[in-house]
Structures are given as C-alpha cells and as structure tokens.
Amino acid sequence: MIARLGRSLRLLGSLLLCCGLLCSSAFANKINGVRVWPSPDNTRVVLDLADTPSYSYFSLTGPDRLVIDLDNVKQRFDFSKLQADSPLIKRIRHSGAKDKNSVRVVLDLTQEVAVQVFALKPTEPYGNRLVIDISEAKTSNPVTTAAAPTITHHADEAPLRDIIVAIDAGHGGEDPGSIGYSGSYEKHVTLAIAKELASLIDKEPGMKAVLVRKGDYYVGFNKRTDIARKAGADLFISIHADAFTTPQPKGGSVWLLSMRRANSELGRMLEQREKHSELLGGVAEVIQDTENEKYLTQALLDMSMDKAMATSFDIGNEVIRELGRITKMHKREPQFASLAVLTSPDIPSLLVETGFISNPTEEKNLNSASHRKKLAESIYKAVKSHFNRMPPDGTLWAKAQRNNLQHKVRRGESLSVLAQKYNVSVDTIKLANQLNTDVLRIGQVLTIPRS
C-alpha cells in the first residue's frame, strides 16, 4: 500500500512537472526590441526576439494594415516610444490577440504596400529576428536613388553625356559591417567617405556621382549593381573598411572580381564577411533561395567582360598609387576574390578597403573627417586620371580628348612657353596631364587641351 502510494506521488509529481514545463514553454518567446530602417525603396521593420519566431500574417484594407501574429508570446512590447520615421508606416501597435498564447502586432500603413516577412537566425551582433519588408505596391521606377545621366545636346553631333560613377557605401542598416576596437561601425565610416567622394565627382565638369545608399539602410548586393546599371554607370566603386582577427594588420587595399575563390586568408575572410552581410541584412529571396543564388552568381561571373575587368585592374592600380600617398597600403597591387557586390559583368568595378577598422590607430583615423576627406580625394584623383586617359565613348570627356593636341617637349621648352604658344593657361596643361610639378623632361609627350 505504501509502495503504491509512493509510486502515485511520484507519478503526480511528474505530471505536475510536465504541466509546469508545458505552461512555461507556452510563452517561451518574447519581443526584446523593435528597429525601423526606412530607405528610398522600402521600409524594413525588425523584431528582435528571444527565440525562433512562430508567426503568421495577413493584410487588411480600409484603412491599410499589416497584421502579424506571434505564437507562444505573452509579453507585450511597449510601442508607444517607437519612432517609425517612414512614409509608409503611420504607427506600430498591439491589437487583440487571436488567443491567450499569442501577441498580435499591427502596422498601420499610409497606403497599399507589397510585403515580405521572413525569420533570420542569430548572427552576431543580433539574435533571432523577424523581418518585415514593405514597399509601395505599384511603382513605375523601383530605383529612386539612381540619377539619370546628364545629357548635353549639340546641333551637329549625337548627344553627349557625363561620365557616371556609382559609389557604394558598404553595409548599412541591419548590417553594421566590421566593428572597431572602440565600437566604431564600418557602415558609418563608409557612408561618410562615399559622400565626400560623390561631392568631389559632382564638382568636376562632365562627371556625375550616384550614391547607391544615401543613409543608414541596407541595400541587397544584387540591388546595388542594379542601381549602378540603371544609372548608366561607367564605374562602380564599393567603399569598405577592413578587419582582421587581431589588431596588428593595417593599411588599405583594392579588391577586384575573381573567377575563382580567393587565394589569400584575407580574401577568404572578405568573402566570408559578404556572406555574413547577407545573413544580417539580406533580402528574403537571398535567404530563402541560397542554392539558386549560388548558380545565378556563377552565371554572372561566367559572363564577365574582359574589357570591364581590364579597366577595373587599371583603375585599381591608380587607386593604390594615390592612396599610398596618404596611408600605408596593406597590399601594393590589386587583390582578387569572389565578391557578390562586384558581380556586374558590364561595369568596371572595384572594392576599396580604406584601412583596418580593427586596428586602433586606423580606427581613429577613419573616424577623422580630415582623414576621410584625404581618402576620398585620393580615390577621386585616381578615377579622374584614368578617365583623362581613357574616357568612355559618347561622353563630353571623349569629345574633349578628340580636340586635344599632342606635343613632344623639346630642349628649352617650359610650361609657360607652351601655354603662350597654344594660348592656354599653365594650370590647364598641368591639369590635363596630371602634373604635380612645373619641371618638364625632354621627349615628354603632353596633351594640350583645345576648346
């Protein structure tokens, strides 16, 4: 009798324990935070969760709303202090849940939208996330950041255009990029340098810059090159700040597209960081269809054009030479890696690592506005030097080059003598030939600009 009673008590205890576990597991998840990332094309809302989300969602009209039901969540997050700052979202709030074991989140919208909702697994520095991407349901031009090339009309010839340089500030939004010793985010450094570079290019007659992103939001790898292509870009430059597992490495480098995997440890780390960026901020199609993405990327690589890659190599060497005047170079020649952001086969493309944010000294430099300006000026000089020598067909610079004269320097000739002879200024000759000195060499061939 006592033995049976003991077994009964143990069974009862086990049942109570199971019930306790079931009850506690019924509300195993909770919302830890909410982040909103508006961009020109869409708005991303991210729910940071304690565990893998179980969810469903649907849309309502009159007024437009997106409703998301999170299962196994009892705790209610305080949305009252959340600033949406999005033209597509009026506010985010709670509503009556479908049952006692769930939470209902409602996005009050300003208009009809297209929606993608997907979960992301933990990837440092983030944990489990539910991502909601919303964009305008109908749009005639989904790329609003890409400016059209400037066209100058002439009565006696085909229309001429500006040289277009697409500038991509690496990372952004959900994806902070590398994080420095003092907590600096790569995404902020790259955007600051990109804006400096764009300003310099826009001041140059016959050139125009297109910023792939203008603020702190994420742009998918494929979308970055799409923006460049739709802008008619003659060059795509992706700005980054390097990182390593130890603080010692320092210096800048230039990376070009490789048809094979990288043959250096740094290159392999760079490839891995790109995959990490996809996990942090990538669009739903990339996350959900990685196998198809792999074969699509390979197809694009196979289509790469020799001319674009040769141009990339030439400009890469120019950038290394100019950067080397103001900062240490980690590599003295262009490096190669299979990089998703450089998969546009028809546009010369390069990725510029402006320094190691993981190095305390270089992190401090990258946070200096004056140093970032020098970095931008170096890249600008390299780009300008290349297009001075080889302007794209159909551009104002190509026409100007056709009108130029070539002069071989003879004994006794100086810049002032040549300026007087051809009725141009000394500065014009120096600018056309990228001269940093007034000294000429006998036999040196100079370009003499003509209007």
- The per-residue DSSP string of 206-235 comes to TEEEEES-SSS----HHHHHHHHHHTT-SE
Q: How confident is the model at residue 100 (pLDDT cuts 50, 70, 90)?
A: confident
User: Where residue 281 falls among pLDDT bands split at 50, 70, 90?
Assistant: low
Q: Is pLDDT of 451 > 50?
A: yes
* pLDDT of 289 strictly over 70: no
User: b/e map of 426-438 (b: 16 or more CB within 10 Å)?
Assistant: beebbebbebeee
User: So where are the chain's domains?
Assistant: 26-136, 151-389, 404-448
pLDDT classification of 28: cutoffs 50, 70, 90:
confident
The b-or-e profile of 29-38 (16+ CB within 10 A means b, else e) is: bbbeebebbb
Q: Is residue 324's pLDDT more than 90?
A: yes
Whether omega before 63 lies within 30 degrees of 0, making that bond cis, reads yes
Asked whether the domain spanning 404-448 has the same topology as the one spanning 26-136, the reply is: no
Q: Are 256 and 267 in contact (CB under 8 A)?
A: no
Residue 82's φ and ψ, nearest 5 degrees, are -80, 130
Which residues, in sequence order, are bridge partners of residue 117? 132
Q: Which two tokens stand for residue 403?
A: 């009108």
66: helix, strand or coil: strand
Q: Is the pLDDT of residue 401 over 70?
A: yes
Name, in order, each residue with C-beta under 8 angstroms of 137's C-beta and a sequence gap of 6 or more. 111, 112, 113, 114
Mean pLDDT of 251-280: 62
pLDDT in tens, 204-243: 989 999 999 999 998 887 788 889 989 999 999 999 998 8
Predicted confidence (pLDDT) per residue in 337-373, tens digit: 766 666 666 788 898 999 999 899 999 999 999 999 9
Residue range 404-448 in CATH 3.10.350.10 = yes
The mean per-residue pLDDT over the stretch 374-382 comes to 96
**Main-chain dihedrals φ then ψ at residue 13, nearest 5 degrees:** -65, -40
**CA distances (Å), origin 340, targets 37, 96, 224, 301, 411:** 23, 43, 10, 10, 53
Q: How far apart are CA 386 and CA 316, in angstroms?
A: 10
pLDDT band at 147 (very low <50, low <70, confident <90, very high): very low
Beta strand pairing call for 151-154 and 163-169: unpaired
Class of the CATH domain delimited by 26-136: mainly beta
CB atoms within 10 A of CB 374: 16
pLDDT at 402 over 90: no
Strands 55-60, 65-71: pairing kind:
antiparallel
Strands 65-71 and 207-211: unpaired
Mean pLDDT to the nearest integer, 177-186: 90
Compute CA distances 148 → 30, 57, 60, 160, 401, whole Å.
46, 38, 37, 13, 24
Instruction: Tell me the pLDDT of the chain averaged across its residues.
Output: 81
Supply the pLDDT for residue 150. Answer: 47
Which span out of 35-39, 175-179, 267-271, 378-382 was modeled with the highest average pLDDT? 378-382
Instruction: Write down the architecture of domain 151-389 according to CATH.
Output: 3-Layer(aba) Sandwich (3.40)
Say yes or no to pLDDT of 414 above 70: yes
Section 174-192 average pLDDT: 92
